[in-house]
Copies of this chain bind each other. A is one copy, B any other.
Amino acid sequence: MKLHLQIKMNEALFLRNPEGSELGKNILKHSIQLIFKAGFEAFTFKKLAEDIGTTEAGIYRYFENKHKLLVYLTAWYWGWLEFQISFQTNNIKDPTVKLKRVIKLLASAVEDDEQTSYINESLLHQIIITEGTKAYLTKQVGEDNKQQFFKPYKDLCAVIGKIILECSPKYKYPKSLASTIIEMAHFQTFFMNNLPSLTDFGKIKKEAEIIAFLNDIVFTSLKKS
């Protein structure tokens, strides 16, 4: 049996549901490829349309603008990652083991999981590293937040914060520590690959080092309290 993982998306993110048609799925698929290749700044709906073989107007029927599309992709990613985490930490009793697992999932390269043919999770993960924060580092963050665009990110953060509290019920900063490890899993990866002198992994370039660093931060913080 082929499981069909469908992530429930906030309907305010799109004009027409991209998962409901071939063109829509193509928009998702090719936008991931194009943002990955060109970067978000150089990414335009015109180029995307050419890639797909449709017209600009066709894209605009699905997404209001490229910002909404980026928010859609990041929301999809966080939803997918939360599912991966709940799936892969299921049946683990020891919260410490669970949290280690979470950190590994956050900082590891993702392999394309084939369940969703139109989303290449590996590429999407790399996009999130470089472009993910641009979804909320904007002037409209307040309105976007009111519309719940960042709920998947917040949910993930809450899940991780809970595991942190299970490890160490008296720890005072579970949510901030959660958002810190999420962001640092990405930033340290970006730095390692692009600005290596900002890290201690420049020579080795192994994600295992980043995982060790995050584990060190998290478990020394939690041991104390």
- Which residues 93-133 of A sit at the B interface, judged by CB distance below 8 A? 130-131, 133
In the bound complex, residues from chain B placing their C-beta under 8 Å from that of A177 are 213, 217
Q: Given A183-B184, A184-B180, A217-B221, A198–B137 Cβ distance below 8 Å?
A: no
Q: What distance in Å separates the Cβ of A205 from its nearest Cβ neighbour in chain B?
A: 13
A169 lies within 8 A of chain B by Cβ: no
In the bound complex, residues from chain B placing their C-beta under 8 Å from that of A153 are 198
Bound together, the chains give a CA A75 to CA B216 distance in angstroms of: 31
Q: Is the interface of A mostly helix, strand, loop or mixed?
A: helix
- Which residues 159-200 of A sit at the B interface, judged by CB distance below 8 A? 172-180, 183-184, 187-188, 190-191, 194-195, 197-200
In the complex, the answer to whether A188 meets B176 with C-beta atoms within 8 Å is yes
A63 lies within 8 A of chain B by Cβ: no
Binds B, one of A24-32, A34-42, A48-56: A34-42
Partner of A216, one of B130, B131, B142, B172: B172
Copies in the complex: 2
Bound together, the chains give a CA A52 to CA B176 distance in angstroms of: 41
In the complex, the answer to whether A200 meets B175 with C-beta atoms within 8 Å is yes
In the complex, the answer to whether A39 meets B136 with C-beta atoms within 8 Å is no
In the bound complex, residues from chain B placing their C-beta under 8 Å from that of A184 are 180, 183-184
Partner of A175, one of B154, B175, B187, B198: B198
A224 lies within 8 A of chain B by Cβ: yes
A150 lies within 8 A of chain B by Cβ: yes
Partner of A187, one of B179, B191, B198, B221: B179
Bound together, the chains give a CA A224 to CA B221 distance in angstroms of: 10
In the complex, the answer to whether A154 meets B200 with C-beta atoms within 8 Å is no
Q: List 20 A-B contacts (CB under 8 A).
A: A39-B139, A134-B134, A142-B194, A145-B194, A145-B195, A157-B197, A172-B216, A173-B216, A175-B197, A176-B200, A178-B198, A179-B199, A180-B180, A180-B184, A180-B188, A183-B183, A217-B221, A220-B220, A220-B223, A223-B224
